[in-house]
Amino acid sequence: MSSRIHHPGLRSKVMSAAEAAAINQHGTTVGMSGFTGSGYPKAVPMALAERAKELHARGEEFRINLHTGASTSAEMDGALAEADAVALRTPFQSDPTMRAKINAGAIEYIDTHLSHLAQTVWNGFYGPMTTAVIEVSGIREDGRLVPSSSVGNNKSWIDLADQVILEVNSWQSEDLEGLHDVYYGTALPPHRTPIMLTHPADRIGETYLRCDPAKVVAVVETHAPDRNSPFKPADADSIAIAQHLVEFFEHEVAQGRYDERLLPLQSGVGNIANAVMSELVKSRFTGLSAFTEVVQDGMLDALDSGTLATASATAFSLSTEAAERFNDNAAKYRDKLILRTQEISNHPELVRRLGILAMNGMLEADLYGNVNSTHLMGTKMMNGLGGSGDFARNAFTSFFLTPSTAKGGDISCIVPMVSHVDHTEHDVSIIVTEQGLAVLRRRLQGVLVARRWVMIDYDIRRDLLEAATAVTPGLESPTVSPLRDETMVAVRSMVRKPDANRVMDELYALGARGILISAIHAIRL
């Protein structure tokens, strides 16, 4: 297997996963690769879990603080959680065992924006990073590393860690080489400079990860696939949600708000996101671009069909079949696909400047437009915020997607008030269920329109009604209500705010009395 390791000095550091795991001590902070089940180390975490079990059986403590890119797999998060080997976990997880331990208080969990974690660790807020455990697909003669199927925070973990353990996974296609764009221009304030990326297809970094060979303390060879989870066939709800989105895109193009090639797309992880891409493949749209976190099956299909011309992400999240298809054809995707660090894929300034159409899942939304992405019943953590906040607040249009009910219809996903707020109504543009779209920007439009009008109420004799309503015609027609005195009526009508005083004077001169002016806070025309 050593054919993937071309640096002589690093070839001499090849050892077993158990030997590499023994390097890690209790209480240290470890940064591992991995993002949505791709590019995570396959062997060392399981060996660490076994080491923890052995030490615990002898009455010795062994727990680490664990930082990753995002979620990983049962062989990593699950095994370490089961072995009680994790004291602290950031920034996102999806493993059932890890989730249960977090909700039980056995593991501390810090839920944070994916774009924020690297800078937070760079600032030293979590203490020094002792070890980085990083999967790569190869090591070059000069020691540079060929990244694997995710980049995530790998660049930062390698730079920050005192020592590095490399897993070289020969299952990953050798044709991954050339697919990546690792940007080394990030810095902490006040030393930041503009990021010169103006289109999702731009390459602004390097093909390889830099790593001082002297920092590498172990190299472990593996041959194991990523957590390639199958996608369920799109159900009726997912298809309906996707169709509503495509229809909305068509409408926005017709209104001149989107270009024929839309704007760069971002979609979250899961069956609904996959269904959206599948419906786009069936649509008339071609030559689109994506600036997102993950490439799923549907996005790979869109690249194959020409619906997508290019896609920029930080990781794959493919089914077994799609992963095999990618591995067999990786070379042809190098001109269409770019994998970046998550500091760039999720960068709020880039999201804002590129004008992203952000489509993310949620647990529930309320009648005000607030969205809960993370907590069940307000108290129990599901997976975490992930990158949804990076995109939602800064997107050109921010969509949140969910079926209208959960648990077979027993639980409504649209509630009077969410139990936990991750995204306020100010960060949410459109909520989409299988029932349709709720366009929250109409509320903003309603407020703006309302500011230009007031409501006027007055009493007037019936024989003067025609003259009075000529002064107050309203938008369509005034409301006229009878009074106890049959010779009188009450009139209610909208009046433009600048005309209010003049209208009051004219009505009074006609004989109207009890003239009231009241504000309108919102209106839907």
List residues with catalytic annotation: 293
Distance CA 369, CA 367 (A): 6
CB–CB of 478/469 below 8 Å?
yes
- Tokens matching residue 143: 């020691």
- Please, how many CA atoms are within 13 Å of residue 83, restricted to the half-sphere of its CB? 26
**3-class secondary structure, 192:** coil
Residues 6+ apart with CB under 8 A from 359: 245, 265, 266, 267, 268, 273, 276, 399, 401
Tell me how long the chain is.
525
Q: Do the bridges between strand 380-381 and strand 375-376 make them parallel or antiparallel, or are there none, so unpaired?
A: antiparallel
Are 355 and 264 within 8 A, CB to CB?
yes
CA distance to 24, 345, 446, per residue, from 61 (Å): 12, 38, 60
Burial group, residue 382, by CB count within 10 angstroms (0-12, 13-18, 19+):
middle
- Residues 292 and 192: their CA atoms lie apart, in Å, by 23
CA quadruple 359, 364, 369, 371: dihedral sign: negative
- Strand partners of residue 411: 406
d(CA 269, CA 275): 11
Which element (helix H / strand E) includes 11?
helix 8-11
- CA 265 to chain CA centroid, Å, is 11
What would the two tokens of residue 39 be?
């590019």
Say which amino acid occupies 328. Answer: D
Question: Tokens 């804002």 — which residue?
Answer: 352
Q: Residues 440, 447: contact at Cβ < 8 Å? A: no
Q: Tokens 């269920």 label which residue? A: 433
| Cβ atoms < 10 Å from Cβ of 125 | 10
Please state, as a whole number, how many other Cβ atoms lie within 10 Å of the Cβ of residue 321.
Answer: 12
Closest CA to 360 of 382, 388, 332, 385: 388
What is the Cα–Cα distance from 515 to 501, expressed in whole angstroms? Answer: 11
3-class state of residue 254 by DSSP: helix
Peptide bond into 190 cis (omega under 30): yes
| 189 conformational bin, left if phi > 0, alpha if psi -120 to 50, beta if neither | beta
